[in-house]
Amino acid sequence: MAYSEGGQEKGIEIEIINEFVEWMKLKKKPNLTLKFVPYTDFDEFYKAVKKGPKNNIGLGSVTISADRAKEVDFTVPYLKDVAFCITNGNSADVKTKTSDNITRALGSMSALTIENTSLNKYLHELKKQYLPDLRILNESNEEKILNEISKNVLYFAYVDAIAFWYYLKTNPGKFIKMQRVLSQSKEELGFIMPKGSKNKALFDEFFNGPSGFKTSSKYRAILEKNLGSYMTQNVSLQ
């Protein structure tokens, strides 16, 4: 979604925000310069945007929610938020979404999560409905979660579909798998800004306005270049 390689920022969110800056120069005429500040901890990233200056824009795969919208401004969605339930490759399969099957496959495990995320919410829904005794442990990011699952058959988690796809791509020797029947696709991702930022309305016009970026071939091309056609079909807003 957003990463640095050879001193250059790359990824879906980086490319979309660069397109926004070019649109601003063409349509609104300001000469904007982007400065990228990296974070590895979600809570620190979120607080930095929330409490930062009005020109901050947070690129952090943030799920749009009513609770967060009380604290920060969201742009219109730029991507569907699909989450996969992930286990170690040696774990039993959850074949049907029933109490008996879920308890049999996951009942002896602990779950890993990131606080204040939709991934955490999905786990608590699973706990409430199927696994009342589930132990939930916090981690700082999805890479750490997936590393722990790859080493321990007694851990599982919800992670973003793209994070799972990228992890497999960059760690081909890791043995983890998706529990497909527990996948979630209820929500969407948006960029975040401090309350009252003028950039919200500008980005919304760029992305969702008449002939907006969402409908362009460039939007689809960015997704397919970074994710391939299969994952693009899962997460694209087109």
**The whole model's pTM is what?**
0.74
- Spatial CB neighbours of 106, under 8 Å, sequence gap ≥ 6: 87, 94, 130, 131, 134, 156
91 neighbors 166 (Cβ within 8 angstroms): no
What tokens were used for 207? 């992305």
> Which position has the higher pLDDT, 31 or 114?
114
What residues pair up with 111 in beta bridges, in sequence order? 136, 156
Q: Where are the alpha helices (DSSP H) in 76-160?
A: 99-106, 118-129, 142-151
* Share above pLDDT 70 across residues of the chain, in percent, rounded to a whole number: 100
Per-residue pLDDT, averaged over 20-44, amounts to 90
- The average confidence (pLDDT) of the chain is 94
